[in-house]
Amino acid sequence: MTAARTQPTTSNRTSQPTVAIVGATGAVGQEFLRVLEQRGFPMGGLRLLASARSAGKTVDFKGQTLAIEELTEQSFQGVDIALFSAGGSISKKYAPAAVQAGAVVVDNSSAFRMIDGIPLVVPEVNPEDIAKHKGIIANPNCSTIIMLLAVTPSQRAVGVKRMVVSTYQAASGAGAAAMAELEQQTREVLAGQKPTCNIFRQQYAFNLFSHNSDMQPNGYNQEELKMVHETHKIWSQQPGQQTAITATCIRVPVMRAHAESINLTLNKPLTEEQARILLNNAPGVSLIDDRENNRFPTPLDASHADDVYVGRIRHDMSQPQGYGLDLFVCGDQVRKGAALNAVQIAELLLK
């Protein structure tokens, strides 16, 4: 499975690109494979890369059995697009080698997101930034992606002055091991046993707690600050003109798909009906907003789905009429919050 070298940014393509997945055995790496197959992504070759302990394992893809290769700095010869999801330290070490070999890197870690000159892209929000890349394109944080699909339509229509967001984040955000531990803990707690706490330092099953990312001196954790700073970069907002954002991020015992409660203060009035029309026409967004039957988005609705689901659309009664809007949002962290967003970026590279 090899292909002649191609440049993903050119339109006069004569052959299909060779793709590498870094972190192929992880939850997002496995989702990369599903998304690539389901979307019919054109490939002349596929290289699966992971740590030495995973080398030699096999993965089924489109009726073929592919072997996992050990990731080294020489792994990217002949690769056109490299999809990274193996953690920030791995990205920092190996992404430059991939670029040096001629690949375009789409990185799912936080390693490059806030570096000047590296595009941070949600394809439905700022696809034009892809053209500015110099070899690396960063995938935003999952919570940021889910939030911005729901909020950007209002930002474009009337402007968002302030945003208050509370997240309810699933185990999937901490990887396959966290998902497995939540399942194990649930069995243990129901059996009256002490729960195993290897991934998190406290019981996760039947519990919730502040997001486990590093706490900062100002009292915010790193996950919360990502949502603030990444939004400003994606929206191309300069200091002095930035939307005021505050976030509270919480882990909840849900297996997959994050939820977010979002409160907006708008620059101009927007009715509930106008907000629904904007969201109904927004790419990557689906509405579940049935007040009569108390039916609104849930993580189960969003699990394994491409779209972000939005509901509970209502005027914020604590603000002047039309200037405040409340939303409840659910999106699959592994899919749109990670793998799908990266593959959509790769698709735009081919155009």
Residue 258 annotated to the active site: yes
State both tokens at 290.
Answer: 């049935």
Nearest partner of 285 among 295, 275, 294, judged by Cα: 275
Q: Out of 133, 211, 258, 315, which one is annotated catalytic?
A: 258
177: left (phi over 0), alpha (psi -120 to 50) or beta: alpha
Nearest partner of 178 among 334, 36, 22, 337, judged by Cα: 334
Q: Out of 142, 211, 315, 330, which one is annotated catalytic?
A: 142
Name every residue whose Cβ is closer than 8 Å to that of residue 304 and which is 6 or more positions away in sequence: 256, 332, 335
DSSP track, 82-105: EEE-S-HHHHHHHHHHHHHTTPEE
Residue 330 annotated to the active site: no
- Maximum C-alpha span of the chain: 63
Helix, strand, coil percentages (3-state) for the chain, rounded to 5, are 30, 25, 45
Interior/surface letters 2-27, b for 16+ CB within 10 angstroms, e for the rest: ebeebebeeeeeeebbbbbbbbbbbb
Q: Write phi, then psi, for 177 (nearest 5 degrees).
A: -65, -35
CB–CB of 46/79 below 8 Å?
no
How far is the C-alpha of 134 from the C-alpha of 230, rounded, in Å? 19
State both tokens at 250.
Answer: 């919480």
Residue 150, CA atoms < 13 Å, CB-side half-sphere: 33
How far is the C-alpha of 185 from the C-alpha of 251, rounded, in Å? 15
Catalytic residue numbers read: 142, 258
